[in-house]
């Protein structure tokens, strides 16, 4: 029986039917990132002001610009990104989906939008990017702002908070 279980597990691994999440390992660019959730606690009085993307030699980058000191965040792979507040699914292109949540609202104290994408399903054009497939709005609710990031595959990523100007940065590697 034990041999049968080992044989079945080996076949499943070889066929790619089962894969455990990878915590960390060097990528082809020497990056040592993982694919497990990353988060930092804390709320800030900052608001989301802008979202932009960039291409680098070894990774694609998403940047959430803030009006003040960087806030907490949660970034992780999910089966389906959902809209903050309603729970409705956010349609995304790609082989894997990152749910990006920043602990800062996209509205001011009076409820006025500080960031509102012209096209919620295509916040920023990522055509031609190596890893990114789509960046979609997932809403801003109860002091949090969410985005769905469709990527080519479940690839390693990292999250940084930077100051001057304040921003939350998500880098997703092109390869393992």
| pLDDT, position 14 | 45
Q: Tell whether the torsion through CA atoms of 57, 36, 91 and 120 is positive or negative.
A: negative
pLDDT tens readout for residues 114-160: 999 999 999 999 999 999 999 999 999 999 999 999 999 999 999 99
What is the band of 1 on the pLDDT scale with cuts at 50, 70, 90?
very low
Q: Tell whether the torsion through CA atoms of 121, 125, 128 and 130 is positive or negative.
A: negative
Answer yes or no: are the C-beta atoms of 30 and 1 closer than 8 Å. Answer: no
| pLDDT, position 85 | 83
| pLDDT, position 153 | 98
Q: What is the DSSP annotation of 71-121?
A: --EEEEEESS-B-TTT--B----SSEEEEEEESS-SB-TTS-BS---SSTT
- Domain coordinates of the chain in residue numbers? 22-173
pLDDT tens readout for residues 6-43: 444 454 444 443 344 444 444 458 899 999 999 999 87
Q: How far apart are CA 35 and CA 9, in angstroms?
A: 22
Residue 111 has pLDDT above 90, yes or no: yes
Our CA dihedral for 59, 88, 84, 160, rounded to 10 degrees, sits at -10
pLDDT tens readout for residues 40-91: 998 778 999 999 999 999 999 999 999 999 879 999 999 999 998 899 999 9
Q: CATH topology for 22-173?
A: Immunoglobulin-like (2.60.40)
Q: How far apart are CA 113 and CA 101, in angstroms?
A: 17
| pLDDT, position 17 | 37
Count other Cβ atoms within 10 Å, centred on residue 117.
Answer: 17
| pLDDT, position 45 | 83
Answer yes or no: are the C-beta atoms of 103 and 72 closer than 8 Å. Answer: yes
């Amino acid at each position: 029986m034990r041999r049968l279980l080992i044989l079945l597990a080996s076949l499943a691994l070889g066929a790619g039917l089962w894969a455990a999440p990878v915590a960390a390992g060097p990528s082809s660019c020497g990056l040592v990132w993982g694919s497990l959730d990353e988060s930092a606690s804390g709320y800030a009085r900052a608001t989301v002001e802008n979202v932009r993307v960039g291409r680098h030699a070894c990774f694609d980058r998403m940047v959430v610009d803030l009006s003040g000191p960087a806030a907490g965040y949660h970034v992780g792979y999910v089966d389906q990104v959902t809209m903050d507040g309603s729970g409705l699914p956010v349609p995304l292109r790609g082989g894997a989906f990152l749910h990006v949540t920043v602990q800062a609202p996209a509205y001011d104290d009076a409820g006025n939008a500080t960031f509102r994408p012209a096209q919620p399903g295509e916040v920023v054009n990522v055509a031609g990017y190596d890893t990114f497939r789509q960046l979609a709005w997932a809403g801003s609710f109860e002091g949090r702002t969410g985005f769905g990031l469709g990527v080519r595959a479940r690839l390693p990523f990292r999250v940084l908070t930077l100051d001057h100007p304040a921003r939350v940065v998500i880098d997703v590697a092109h390869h393992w």
